[in-house]
Chains A and B, each alone.
Chain A
Amino acid sequence: MKTRIIVAVALAAALAIPASTASGGTTKASASSITVWLMSDAQNGWPTAVANATSQFKAQHPGVDVNIQYQSWDSVLQKFDASIAASDTPDAIELGNSQTAKYMAAGAFQAIKPKNYPNSSTWLAGLKQSCTYGGHTFCVPYYAGARAVIYRKDLYRSVGYKSAPTTYSKFLAIGKKLMKKYGSNSNFSALYEPGQNWYVAMSYVFDYGGQIAVHKGSKWQAVLNTPQAIAGLTAFKKMTLAFSRASKTNDEAHPYPSIPFAKGRAAAFIGNGWEWPYVFNPKGGAAPASFEKKMGAYPMPSHVKGKYLPTFLGGSDIGIPVQSKNKSLAADWVKAFTGTASETLIAKAGNIANSTKLLGVNAKNPALAPFARAAAFSWFVPSAPNWANVESNNPLKPMLTSILTNRASIKSAVTKADSQINKILNAKS
């Protein structure tokens, strides 16, 4: 899902309970402790939710320590694979919802019974799908994220628009005016759209009725080379070239658009809920608190009236590896972490909780409410076991670059990407 700079960023210092002594205790799970691997997002974004779950767990199992180890998206799968090879896996692990299929197909996770888990009857459909394989459930939905437009209210006002656009044509009109007024500064973008942001590009594809790939019999077939997908990509190209000065060879994490946005180089960008507070994060935009007064958000309108541009429903799930030696203890921790109390804290941190019951948590928060609304129209990646391999070295990214830099026509670019995706999806696993 999210990639970051360094492969060796294996450990961010855990702020949670350290379970080892200075000379290094082994983290082999035993009845006295369990090991959980979460992404550093949790450590930075919602540490209270983690602490809440752990204290709930310890009330239930007083003698058992919880060893939370925070991972980085870049290296977690490599470490997980190594641990599988050595039968030394964590007791619970967070995986991106587009990565689970691969591990479920390989039998890496323990099957679970949803009815034993809190709120399972109201789990978000998109997340639940990413935990289902062959009719069984292998993981627990953790949280989801939707994208919306974060924008500068003051800049929109300066070109005559007091409220956010609700139609695509209005969105285009605003963009044109912004570029006319501020575009002479070669750093300025009306909408900062990194060229390799395939999440947004595919949103356009789905908006025009296209898809990425479909299951035909026993094979997967990439279908970007269809009139609908091509229409979507054409609209995406038109918008990006007109409004964005972002790099055409970088994706949405290099840099995070919050940063140039905070420095005044963008009037808007499409991002996740957590990218709002990231504008103020010293590691991110480092904007002063007063900057927030100028910010607003709205779901990106679709070219079809009354709809939103479908957003990628990203998210994470938590699974219990088959090789764990403390499956029932791990299950108890996961139940605590995905229960209402922790999930509410997770939602308040700028995410979408795993249950429709909790969708209203952010309804009154003007910063976060648009994201929850945007989730009404969403898309997800093909549920192929090998999809994670597509994302690891994503052919869609160079495809977009070649389209945006005019090095290839859309038709030839999608043809090439289709064959590359087919090869990966249908590889013997």
Chain B
Amino acid sequence: MSSPLAGAPLAGLRPVRRRSRRARARRWGVDALGLLVFLVMIFPVYWMVSTAFKPGSDIIANTPVWFPTHPTLSNFSDAIDRPYFWTSVKNSLIVVVSVVVISLVLAFLAALALAKFRFYGRKAFIVLVIAVQMVPLNALIIPIYLVLSKGNQVDKLSGLVITYLTFVLPFTIWTLRGFLLGVPRDLEEAAQVDGSTRFGAFVRILLPLIGPGLVATSIFAFIQAWNEYLMASVLVHSPGNQTLTLWLAGFITDRGTAWGPLMAGATLTALPVVLFFVAIQRRIAFGLTAGAVRG
């Protein structure tokens, strides 16, 4: 699979034709190290997934059960059968898709302004965008609740979307600005020669060029919105408006944690993100910093 992840440039250090024994051994050593790092990093996640397949008696056991010897799908069916699972999936999808799409559009426009125009207050706005990310979220819970309550947005998905947009936009604007800066100005001017308006040039030329940037920021927005729970826990009251994270939290109650179904539910929750990412990983890896490195 030829993807930008292939890291072809650095491969040039090794002799390509005849692999000497030393080079092969080195290869295996490096791969072994890679596998070791993989195992260490993935262990907690492995624990989550394997617990999802364990029957209850194997979960809290005097001796840890490393590999589920009696795998069962009952935790998954427990999780899915739990009330509001599909509703939560639907709600999470609605919220996440809205946040991703709207943030991309708004951030692209704002990033355009910050990257391609000179205007009074530009530096101040950039600093503001960065500064907003420094405000600790949990200090703002009550004031945000107040504001949303006045706008009748409490316990509504739209309220959640607006709140998440606020927290996702600064990073998105900032990142897209970085990408846009990496595109030479001459390109737009070349497009304008063709007779398009400046804005047309933006859309036709810049947008495709920063495609990877859009993908990268959309992943960030996706994960933020998909996994957020602090604000959601305060803003959502009705179980019918829960997002998946709130639904998941329901497995952990004052009277104990239903570990099996929780891990099953968590696995199900993480899966879409993983699939989404694996599908577009070609573009993101290359694109995350395409604008920043010039060499």
A-B contacts counted at CB < 8 A amount to 142
- CB A345 to nearest CB in B, in angstroms, measures 18
Q: Are B156 and A86 in contact (CB under 8 A)?
A: no
Given contacts A11-B237, A14-B239, 8 further A-B contacts (CB under 8 A): A2-B254, A8-B229, A9-B252, A10-B246, A41-B254, A281-B256, A283-B258, A284-B256
Once bound together, how far apart are the Cα atoms of A264 and B60, in whole Å? 12
Distance to closest chain A CB from B247 (angstroms): 7
Cross-chain contact of A11 among B142, B156, B250 (Cβ < 8 A): B250
Whether B185 sits at the interface, judged by CB under 8 Å, is no
* Cα-based distance from A25 to B252 in the complex (angstroms): 26
CA distance A9 to B233 in the complex (A): 7
Contact B229–A69 (Cβ < 8 Å) = no
A27 with B237, Cβ < 8 A, contacts A8-B230, A9-B250, A86-B154 known: yes
Asked whether A41 and B57 contact (CB < 8 A) given A8-B229, A19-B238, the answer is: no
Is A173 an interface position by the 8 A CB rule? no
Give CA–CA (A27, B156) in the complex, Å.
10
- Inter-chain CA distance A338–B229, complex, in Å, is 34
Q: Distance in Å from the Cβ of A75 to the closest Cβ of chain B? A: 6
Looking at the complex, which of A77-85, A99-107, A174-182, A367-375 is the stretch in contact with chain B?
A77-85
Q: 1/0 contact trace for A253-271 toward B, CB 8 Å? A: 1001001000111000000
Pick from A10, A44, A78 the residue with the most CB of B within 10 Å.
Answer: A10
- Cα–Cα, bound, A281→B257 (Å): 11
A15 to chain B, nearest CB (A): 7
Please indicate the chain A residues that have their CB under 8 angstroms from the CB of B242 in the complex. Answer: 11, 13
B233 partner residues in chain A, CB cutoff 8 A: 7-11, 75, 79
Closest residue of A by beta carbon distance from B83? A13
13 A-B pairs with C-beta separation under 8 A:
A9-B233, A9-B250, A10-B234, A13-B242, A24-B156, A24-B240, A26-B156, A40-B253, A44-B253, A85-B142, A86-B149, A281-B255, A283-B256
Q: How far is the CA of A20 from the CA of B241 in the complex (A)?
A: 8
Bound complex: CA A86 to CA B159 (Å)? 15
Interface string of B73-109 (1 = CB under 8 A from A): 0000000001110010010000000000000000000
Interface pair B255/A284, CB less than 8 Å apart: yes
Give the CA-CA distance A396 to B237 in the complex, in Å.
34
Interface string of A1-33 (1 = CB under 8 A from B): 010111111111111001111111111000000
Which single member of A4, A8, A15, A187 contacts B254 (CB below 8 Å)? Answer: A4
Please report the C-alpha to C-alpha distance between residue A25 and residue B62 in the assembled complex, in whole angstroms: 47
Which applies to chain A's interface (DSSP): helix, strand, loop or mixed?
loop
Task: With both chains docked as a complex, state the minimum distance between the C-beta of B52 and any C-beta of chain A, in angstroms.
Answer: 15
Q: Which residue of A lies closest to B87 (CB)?
A: A22
User: Chain B residues near A74 (CB, 8 Å)?
Assistant: 254
Is A206 an interface position by the 8 A CB rule?
Answer: no
Distance in Å: Cβ of B82 to nearest Cβ of chain A: 7
Contact B256 A278 (CB under 8 A): yes
Given contacts A11-B246, A27-B155, A79-B234, contact A18 B239 (CB under 8 A): yes
Residues in B128-147 with C-beta less than 8 Å from chain A: 141-142, 145-146
Interface 0/1 of A147-158, CB less than 8 Å to B: 000000000000
CB contact under 8 A between A6 and B155, given known A11-B246, A69-B237, A263-B62: no
